[in-house]
Amino acid sequence: MEGFAEKLAHKLHHYSVLPWDDDQGTIAALDPLVLTNYTFFLIIAFVVTLVFFLVAAQKVDLVPQGIGNVVEAGYEFIRNLCVDNMGREGLKFAPFIGTLFFFILFNNAIGLIPGSLPGTGSIGVTATWAVMVFIVYNAIGFKKNGFIGYLKSFIPSGVREMPAFGRFTLGPFIFLLEVVGHFLRPLTLAVRLYANMFAGGIILGIFGIFMILGAQQLGALGITMTGFGLIMLVIMYAFKVFVAFIQAYVFAILTSVYIGGALHASEH
C-alpha cells in the first residue's frame, strides 16, 4: 500500500496551510504577510458574499422579487434565530450573527467546489473568529451587567444563597469551573468548524484515492474498489454539502446562545 500512503500524504499536504503561489509547499514557517492556500479561498468567499448581498439587497423591496426573496428569507432566518436565543433585544446583533453565518456558509460552500478549499478549513481562520466571538460576547456581558455583576453571574444563584460555609467553599470552585467553561467555548467553536471542514476534504480525498488505486488494479478487486470508492464519494459529498450548512448554522446559533447568556447573565 505504498502508493496509497504516498497519495494520502500528498493529499494531506495539500490540506496543510501553504503559500498560495508555491505548489511544492517547501516553506514550512510561513511569513505572516504571505497569501496562503486557505486565505486565497477566504478572500474569494469574501468577495462572493459581499457581491451577492450587495446585489441581492437591491432587489429587496416592499413587494419582494427574484433573488430578493432568497436573501430576505435568509436574513429573516437569522433574525428569528436571534430573537429565539436572545429575545427582542437580540435583533440588534442580527447583522453580526448574519455576517458570521453567511461568511462561514459561503466559505464552506466554496470548499465544495472540486479543487478548492474552504477558508474555514484552517484552524487559523476559525480560531480567529472563535476568539472574536469570545471577546464580543464577554464584552456584551460586562457592559450589560457591570463588571462585578457579570463575574458574579458565573456563580449560580443557588450557591450565592447558600449559608456562608457552602458559599465560600463551593463558590470559588464553581466560579473556576465556569471560567474554564467560558475559555473552552472559543476552543470548541474553532475546532468544531475547522475539523468538520478539514475532515470533509480529507474523507473525499481518501475515497478519491481509493477509486484511482482501484482503477489501476485489474480484475474484480479493482472494479470493487472503484465502485466502492465512487459510491462512498457520492454519499460523502452529499454529506459534506449538509455539513457545510450545519456547521455554519451551529457556529451562528452557538454565538447567539453565548451572547444571549451574556445579556441575561444577571437573571440566573
Partner 1 sequence: MLVGVAYAAEEGESAISVVPVLADVWPSIVAFVILFLLLKKFAFGPISNVLEKRADSIKESLEKAEETRVEAERLLDEYKEQMAAARLEAGKIVDQSRKAAESMKEEIVAKANDEAAQVIEKAREAIEAEKQAAMVELQSSVADLSVAVAGKLLGEKLSPADHAALIDKYLSEVGGMNDN
Please give the residue ranges that form the binding site for partner 1 (CB under 8 A): 5-6, 8-9, 11-13, 15-17, 25, 28, 30-36, 38-39, 42-43, 46, 49-50, 53-54, 56-57, 60-62, 71-72, 75-76, 79, 91, 94-96, 98-100, 102-103, 119, 122-125, 127-129, 132, 198
Q: Which is nearer to partner 1, 61 or 161 (CB)?
A: 61
Q: Which is nearer to partner 1, 101 or 150 (CB)?
A: 101
- Cβ atoms of residues 116 and 110 within 8 Å: yes
Q: Which is nearer to partner 1, 15 or 150 (CB)?
A: 15
Q: Least distance (Å) from partner 1 to the CB of residue 43?
A: 7
What DSSP string describes 108-128? Answer: HHHHTSTT---GGGSHHHHHH
Q: Least distance (Å) from partner 1 to the CB of residue 75?
A: 5
Angle between helices 67-86 and 219-263 (to 10 degrees): 60
Cell of 223: 472494479
Q: Least distance (Å) from partner 1 to the CB of residue 265?
A: 24
Radius of gyration (C-alpha) of the chain in whole angstroms: 23
Q: Least distance (Å) from partner 1 to the CB of residue 59?
A: 10
Of the candidates 121, 129, 138, the residue with the CA atom closest to the CA atom of residue 97: 129
Backbone angles phi, psi at 62, to 5 degrees: -60, -40
Q: Least distance (Å) from partner 1 to the CB of residue 181?
A: 22
Q: Which is nearer to partner 1, 150 or 258 (CB)?
A: 258
Whole-number Cα distances in Å, 124 to 38, 191, 194: 9, 10, 9
Residues 185 and 172: their CA atoms lie apart, in Å, by: 20
Q: Which is nearer to partner 1, 130 or 155 (CB)?
A: 130
